[in-house]
Homo-oligomer: A and B are copies of this chain.
């Protein structure tokens, strides 16, 4: 009766704060621009690529920063944004693993958790 799903709790993995920052197409484009850069990038540089207002770019970058996706470093007058690669990749992989363990194609035979001697 009890199916014992491996991880029934997605509350932290499906956090709205993370995905809400990724829902806007413009913000996704900006995120892609930042990710493509090898070095941390400034607000003005990103705004130079797109044709939207500088203040909008600043707001989008701040949203991504507040969501833990980007890191902001202040150097003089400029603020350099860069991707928090470890955190983002870790989040994505953790969610993928949790989903796979819970509702994966082989999760119906729950032999992966407790040792099941017979083949």
Contact = CB atoms under 8 A, between A and B. Distances in A.
B11 A32 contact: yes
A50 interface: no
Nearest to A29: B14
A85 B108 CA distance: 12
Given A19-B22, A108-B38, A99 B103 contact: no
Interface string A14-41: 1010011011110011011001111000
A96 B92 contact: yes
B83 A103 contact: yes
A48 interface: no
A88 interface: yes
For the complex of A and B, 9 pairs with smallest distance between CB atoms: A23-B23, A92-B96, A16-B25, A19-B22, A10-B32, A89-B96, A14-B28, A92-B92, A3-B38
